Amino acid sequence: MSWAYLQRLREYRDQESGLEVKTAPVRVALCYPNVYSVAASSLGFQVVYRLINAAPEMSAARAMLPDEDLAEEVPPGGVLTLEEEKPLASYPVVAFSISYEMDLVGIIDLLRKAGIPHMGAERTEDDPFVLVGGPMTLSNVLPLHPFADAVVMGDAEAVLPTVLEILRSAESHPERRQRLAEVAGVYVPEHHGWDVPEPNVVGPEYLPAYGTFWTPRSELSNMFLVESSRGCPQYCKFCVVRAANTPMRYPDAHEIQRTIPAEAPRVGFVGAAVSEYPHIKELLASCIDRDQEIGLSSLRADVLDDEFVELLVRGGARTMTIASDAPSELQRSRLAKGLKERHLLHAAELARKHGLHRLKVYAIIGLPEETDADLDELARFALEMSRIHKVTLAVNPLIPKLRTPLAGAPFCSISELNRKIKLLRKRAGRRVDFRFLSPRWAWVESMLSLGGPETGMAAVAVSDAGGGYHAWKAALKRVDQPFAARDYAEETARSSWLPRR
């Protein structure tokens, strides 16, 4: 056992505030396929921790990948849980929360480091039962097929108590899989194959979701997380969290306030449409009155006003993030984004007026029917915004996702994306602070987001090779074009939204 690794776990545990630990006869190892600082920033991970501890005779202990500087010091089978410092393989159930496709390798690596067979077909009754859930499951679960015994799809709050009771009471893994296959919104690879159930979507009575602890070792340092709303009222064609899939649900404002500990130094309001929650200003003012700093995820430009931005500044905000999403007014209209250029320029004016250090704007390129004229408009617009205030323009390629109207859109080639990036830099010059997501990594994510079990197997090859883009490139070249890019269209979705092979 590595003393440095054990010491690091104890440091993490000692610096957490607000956490209530439970011990019970049936122990679940709740895992995050990344390092501690990322895991501690996940609201969903914290919510599932509470739900497991609320189940009769069950308790949760967390585990995550060792930090990079300690990865080589942890021997095979040496991954320990944070609360109990016990080997991951000693738990009857190992549950993963996965946020997005690139963490697939993290699941494989963590199982391997724990001495647990990563392939579901190779695990026996003596191995833990592997359960997976998290935001990725709202879109595409098939890459998880080779690894998971069962997957809770979409929102977990309503169905997880039933799932946990089955895991507790069933006498064998085959019985667990058989019974779980009958639960709404639970995908069991052994039973469902390619016939994937609909994801769970809970009503407002299950909300708000809220955190279990805060820590300075999180990427969101000392921030207590709470969900101000779930879903989205918009129909943006590129987004999985669109109203057609996850309608906007509004928790009661007093219930949200009740979940926030007065001693938490910072409060982060989480959601796909935080700024559209009708009582968001009331919530911000309540935290500020208690001398708590506040943080919000991306804001919608057309709802911002002086009062809103002033509250952000009073709550300690130094930057503000909004999304343009498309490079031009025409493309925003095609995407059903519903934003005008004047809304975005007004956001820049508000940022300058209230003394924010910087405005961050997200944009997407590589859209269907996109032309250089669209990119010229983006460059001109970026220059105009930069004259108003300091702006960082974060430009990402379109990554088609299942359960969206753009699932069948082709991924723009890496060479063409590089040409577009070069054009934007040339048109805007050095006055605009551009940040570009690597087209190569966007291609990898797009393959995983639309792929089937074969892309999960590609992740195994990447884990074997130690990670890196070239490992992904080699592994994915052996995979056919993702099935969904050929076959899926929202208009023809059947009762099962994934077509059979």
Q: Which among 98, 101, 89 is positioned nearest to 61, based on CA atoms?
A: 89
The length of the chain is 501
Contact 228, 204 (CB under 8 A): no
Read off the pLDDT of residues 212-233 as tens digits, 9 standing for 90 and up.
999 999 999 999 999 999 999 9
Q: Is the pLDDT of residue 489 over 70?
A: no
Contact 85, 9 (CB under 8 A): yes
- The pLDDT, as a whole number, for residue 11 is 97
- The pLDDT, as a whole number, for residue 486 is 43
- The pLDDT, as a whole number, for residue 426 is 94
In which band, very low, low, confident or very high, does the pLDDT at 338 lie, cut at 50, 70 and 90?
A: confident
Residue 282 CA to residue 284 CA, distance in Å, equals 6
Q: Which among 62, 108, 180, 118 is positioned nearest to 448, based on CA atoms?
A: 108
User: Residue 312 corresponds to which tokens in the numbers above?
Assistant: 């952000």
Region 94-102: what's the mean pLDDT?
95
- The pLDDT, as a whole number, for residue 481 is 58
Read off the pLDDT of residues 398-410 as tens digits, 9 standing for 90 and up.
999 989 999 889 8
- The pLDDT, as a whole number, for residue 488 is 39
Torsion angle, alpha carbons of 488, 494, 498, 501, to 10: -90
In which band, very low, low, confident or very high, does the pLDDT at 482 lie, cut at 50, 70 and 90?
A: low
> Which residue blocks in 29-172 are alpha helix, DSSP H?
36-39, 43-54, 104-113, 160-169
Q: Is the pLDDT of residue 495 over 60?
A: no
Residue with tokens 């909004």: 322
Q: Is the pLDDT of residue 72 over 60?
A: yes
Q: What is the 3-state secondary structure (H, E, C) of 261-323?
A: CCCCCEEEEECCCHHHCCCHHHHHHHHHHCCCEEEECCECHHHCCHHHHHHHHHCCCCEEEEE
Residue 478 CA to residue 495 CA, distance in Å, equals 31
- Provide φ and ψ at 387, rounded to 5°: -75, -25
Residue 434 CA to residue 451 CA, distance in Å, equals 30
Considering only residues 488 and 444, tell me which one the structure prediction assigns the higher pLDDT.
Answer: 444
Burial tier of 204 (Cβ tally within 10 Å: 0-12, 13-18, 19+): middle
Residue 100 CA to residue 96 CA, distance in Å, equals 12
- Provide φ and ψ at 281, rounded to 5°: -65, -40
- The pLDDT, as a whole number, for residue 493 is 36
Percent of the chain whose predicted confidence (pLDDT) is above 70: 95
Residue with tokens 């939204």: 497
State the amino acid at position 102 in one-letter form: M
Least confident range from 77-91, 147-161, 222-236, 467-481: namely 467-481
DSSP designation for 468: -
User: Residue 446 corresponds to which tokens in the numbers above?
Assistant: 């797009």
User: Residue 260 corresponds to which tokens in the numbers above?
Assistant: 């926030």
- The pLDDT, as a whole number, for residue 497 is 31
- The pLDDT, as a whole number, for residue 429 is 83
> Which residue blocks in 327-435 are alpha helix, DSSP H?
329-334, 341-353, 372-388, 414-428
- The pLDDT, as a whole number, for residue 408 is 85
Read off the pLDDT of residues 238-252 as tens digits, 9 standing for 90 and up.
999 999 999 999 999
Residue 359 CA to residue 349 CA, distance in Å, equals 10
Residue 251 CA to residue 226 CA, distance in Å, equals 11
Considering only residues 119 and 491, tell me which one the structure prediction assigns the higher pLDDT.
Answer: 119
How is the chain split into domains, by residue range? Answer: 3-192
Angle at CA 429, nearest 5°, toward 424 and 433? 80
Residue 74 CA to residue 177 CA, distance in Å, equals 32
Region 21-32: what's the mean pLDDT?
96
Q: Is the pLDDT of residue 373 over 90?
A: yes
Burial tier of 7 (Cβ tally within 10 Å: 0-12, 13-18, 19+): exposed
Torsion angle, alpha carbons of 330, 334, 338, 339, to 10: -30
In which band, very low, low, confident or very high, does the pLDDT at 492 lie, cut at 50, 70 and 90?
A: very low
Read off the pLDDT of residues 269-303 as tens digits, 9 standing for 90 and up.
999 999 999 999 999 999 999 999 999 988 999 99
The architecture that CATH gives domain 3-192 is: 3-Layer(aba) Sandwich (3.40)
- The pLDDT, as a whole number, for residue 462 is 97
Q: Report the first-to-last Cα separation within the chain, whole angstroms.
A: 46
DSSP designation for 11: H
**Bridging pattern class, strands 150-152 and 129-133:** parallel
Contact 294, 339 (CB under 8 A): no
Residue 235 CA to residue 5 CA, distance in Å, equals 46
Q: Which among 260, 157, 162, 133 is positioned nearest to 205, based on CA atoms?
A: 157
Contact 325, 364 (CB under 8 A): yes
- The pLDDT, as a whole number, for residue 483 is 55
Read off the pLDDT of residues 133-149 as tens digits, 9 standing for 90 and up.
999 999 999 999 999 99
Q: Is the pLDDT of residue 90 over 90?
A: yes
Q: Is the pLDDT of residue 474 over 60?
A: yes
Q: Is the pLDDT of residue 16 over 70?
A: yes
Average pLDDT of the chain, as a whole number: 93
Read off the pLDDT of residues 40-60 as tens digits, 9 standing for 90 and up.
999 999 999 999 999 999 999
State the amino acid at position 435 in one-letter form: R
Q: Which residues of 340-349 are buried (b: 16+ CB within 10 A; e: fewer)?
A: ebebbbbbbe
Cα dist. 118→41, 123, 220, 412, 474 in Å? 25, 8, 31, 33, 21
- The pLDDT, as a whole number, for residue 477 is 86
